[in-house]
Amino acid sequence: MSWDLTALLNAADPRAPQPVRHTWLIRLMEWLRHAVPPKEGEVAAAEPRTPVAALRLRHLLNVLDRHPEHQERVQGVLHAFWREVDAVALFADFGFAPRMALRSEVISRIRQRLLPRTPETADLADLFPLLFDPADGPWIDALDEAQLDRLAHLLMPPPDAREWRQVLLDALTILVSAVQATGYAGPLRKRMSPALLEGEPFRQLSTGAERLRTALLENDTAAALQHAHWLRTLLDACGRASESITDHLEEFGVSVDIVFEMDQLRARTRRIELLLECLLAPSPGTALQRLVSNLVLVEGEMRGLRRLMARHYSLLARQVAERNAETGDHYITRDRAEYRQMLQRAAGGGAIIVGTTFAKFAVGALGLSLFWNGFWAGANYAISFVIIMLLHWTVATKQPAMTAPAMAATLGELRKARPGAETTVAVETFVDRVAALIRSQAAGIFGNLMVCGPLVLAVQLASGWLFGVTPVGPETAEYVLHSLTLLGPTVFFAVFTGVLLFSSSLIAGWVENWFVFQRLDSAIAWNPRIVGALGAKRAQSWARWWRHNISGLAANVSLGMMLGLVPALFAFFGLGIEVRHVTLSTGQLAAAAGALGLDVLREPAFWWCLAGIAVTGALNLSVSFWFAFKVALRSRGVRVQDRALITAAIRARLNSAPLSFLWPPKDQ
């Protein structure tokens, strides 16, 4: 593309077809933002920090002033442009979703990123992304009043100023109607605070906007200011009412579509405020500058999915984190009594995994197809995990994803603490939690492994002594030694299993949030049919049970099925990915040792498998904890500014009391 301004100005043709004129405007905007600075002499007294586009705009205006024939042609193109385009659509619709649903907005943004736009349109909202780039904000903000006045004269002659006021008023009316409709929408209205709706702010919005419109069209400045103040008061009341929805969502479950509608309402309110500034300002140049700069910012936000998803899933992530934090807090041992209880619960979980281990080998011996082998293996895991949960026992690898949100809660307290003594106390509290978490996980692993391994080995040896054959034969045992070794892909598989462990905690939080949002516990307790079938007392009891256990059931069932089915699904695509769960792997290695006898201790393969189990345990725990901790931090908006302080505190605790990370101190 040529960046010659003279050629560009010569190409301006007011009589050209609309797509040609729009294409010329797009080329003009590209010339403005072109990274090459103006040549020497193009701009007089150029400030060194002024954006290049602002300098080039100044040069363009100077050239047009010196060459009336170019100015006439450019103004002809611009005036034809404003006569034909629908500018109301830009101010009223740009940046807002046509449907109040996050899913449709995501699909719309993906479509906009993949499909090219056409300049053959009269909708300025569609043409705006072709004219402006998200990086244009700084140079637009850098324009001074003199440039704005010259630009306004170029863009729109004085007789059309009243038409611009009409455009802004039409956009204001549309935006106010949209805010009013959103406030009346059932999902939002039912969740707003009744006290904040007593003055009926949403109902009065249209009246306030119409009175302001009449005053402005009649040039009654005093009345316009009065009605604008009233409209702003109503919008503020509507904003407070919509904000009250957040409290309801945090208590009764989150819907991302409702969060999306709330954001759309807030964004429309901000746009209305920008329009009011333009309409009420004696000299609207600066106000219009802020409005266009805001539209450019909105365009940048519309181009990305990351910010949209992060914002609208933040409350859901917080709900997942908060609900897991409540559960995870029970996994953290603070004193020796709780530590012993954790060992006992983990020992019970290890005993159940013994049956899981032999059931897994039995499923594998059936010779089922790939999918059904994975399905029944997953069902075996899921049933075992659910039994462990119902007996109030534990599997060590379930701890990190649950305890990470509780850790994030402590970091949230650190973020709120003021510098000085409060920060020191918060850091020490966090380090205490780290130590308690690590020793809790150590207790869980010790309890699982010290029961699972010996019991599997005992069953193997007893069966060989009594019946002359072991449940797991030598051929399968050799395969176990080959697959669990640290010399193979065990490290990668252990990391992958950690991701599945984390994913199960997300599924658990999402299912519980859905359960609460749909008020299913209340439905179980009070639905006439359910009460008629169960009885009032039993229905209440079932409601409490489901409310208390839905998260655990979802976590354990989803984890079990993923451990069985995900490797089978990957194998369908030719990817030999397996899972490595520390407790299950220990049971398998113990079964192999029982089948091969004491001679296996002389084989290096056995010790490489033992090393692989140690690494598997560390990776299962650390990976699932790291992901869960990141989600918890994002959900709270926590940025750890004092990382060095925290690291130093943990290092100091390791130096002064290293055993506190494995065993509770005596005073606890």
| Sequential DSSP letters for 122-190 | SBHHHHHHHH--GGGHHHHHT--HHHHHHHHHHH--GGGHHHHHHHHHHHHHHHHHHHHHHHHSHHHHT
541 and 598 assigned to the same domain? yes
What confidence score (pLDDT) does residue 2 get?
41
38-to-5, 35, 64, 632, 648 alpha-carbon distances in Å: 11, 9, 16, 49, 52
Angle at 134 between CA 182 and CA 25, to 5 degrees: 105
Residue 649 lies in a domain: no
Residue 89 lies in a domain: no
Which pair of structure tokens corresponds to residue 201? 């702010």
308 and 342 assigned to the same domain? no
21 CA to centre of own chain: 42
Residue 484 lies in a domain: yes
Rounded to a whole number of angstroms, the distance between the first and last alpha carbons of the chain is 74
Q: Are 497 and 617 in contact (CB under 8 A)?
A: no
CATH number, domain at 449? 1.20.1080
Residue 576 lies in a domain: yes
What phi and psi, each to the nearest 5 degrees, are found at residue 198?
-60, -35
Residue 584 lies in a domain: yes
Q: Are 373 and 566 in contact (CB under 8 A)?
A: no
107-to-42, 95, 133, 453 alpha-carbon distances in Å: 45, 14, 22, 51
In the chain, the percentage of residues whose pLDDT exceeds 90 is 50
295 and 353 assigned to the same domain? no
Q: Is the pLDDT of residue 3 over 60?
A: no
Q: Are 188 and 182 in contact (CB under 8 A)?
A: yes
What confidence score (pLDDT) does residue 44 get?
44
What phi and psi, each to the nearest 5 degrees, are found at residue 231?
-65, -40
**Per-residue confidence band for 555, with pLDDT thresholds at 50, 70 and 90:** confident
290 and 355 assigned to the same domain? no
398 and 272 assigned to the same domain? no
Which pair of structure tokens corresponds to residue 216? 């402005």
- Amino acid 391 reads L
Any idea which of 373-382, 456-465, 501-510, 585-594 has the lowest mean pLDDT?
Answer: 501-510
Residue 298 lies in a domain: yes
Q: Is the pLDDT of residue 332 over 60?
A: yes
588 and 454 assigned to the same domain? yes
Q: Is the pLDDT of residue 45 over 50?
A: no
What confidence score (pLDDT) does residue 578 get?
94
Provide CB contacts within 8 A for 303, sequence distance 6+.
109, 112, 113, 129, 134
What confidence score (pLDDT) does residue 232 get?
95
83 CA to centre of own chain: 43
Q: Between 453 and 104, where is the model more confident?
A: 453
The structure's pTM equals 0.72
Q: What are the pLDDT digits (tens) for 196-216?
A: 999 899 999 999 999 999 999
Residue 275 lies in a domain: yes
Provide CB contacts within 8 A for 213, sequence distance 6+.
169, 172, 173
Q: Are 507 and 501 in contact (CB under 8 A)?
A: no
What phi and psi, each to the nearest 5 degrees, are found at residue 488?
-100, -155
258 and 377 assigned to the same domain? no
Any idea which of 504-508, 543-547, 609-613 has the lowest mean pLDDT?
Answer: 504-508
Sequence length of the chain is 668
Q: Are 108 and 97 in contact (CB under 8 A)?
A: yes
Domain that holds residue 209: 96-117+159-312
Q: What are the pLDDT digits (tens) for 335-353?
A: 778 888 889 999 999 999 9
274 and 351 assigned to the same domain? no
Q: Are 506 and 631 in contact (CB under 8 A)?
A: yes
Between CA 451 and CA 10 the distance in angstroms is: 87
Q: Is the pLDDT of residue 313 over 60?
A: no
Average pLDDT on 72-94 reads: 91
293 and 356 assigned to the same domain? no
List strand residue ranges (DSSP E) for 595-664, in order: none
Long-range contacts of 277-280 (CB under 8 A, 24+ apart): 278/168, 279/165, 279/168, 279/169, 279/172, 279/216, 279/224, 279/228, 280/224, 280/225, 280/228
Which pair of structure tokens corresponds to residue 666? 């005596």
What confidence score (pLDDT) does residue 40 get?
46
283 and 369 assigned to the same domain? no
Q: How many domains does the chain have?
A: 2
Between CA 513 and CA 575 the distance in angstroms is: 34
Q: Is the pLDDT of residue 639 over 60?
A: no
Q: What are the pLDDT digits (tens) for 587-620?
A: 999 999 999 998 899 999 999 999 999 999 889 8
| Largest separation between any pair of C-alpha atoms in the chain | 109
Q: Are 515 and 521 in contact (CB under 8 A)?
A: yes
442 and 573 assigned to the same domain? yes
Residue 328 lies in a domain: no
Between CA 7 and CA 13 the distance in angstroms is: 12
Between CA 256 and CA 505 the distance in angstroms is: 19
305 and 343 assigned to the same domain? no
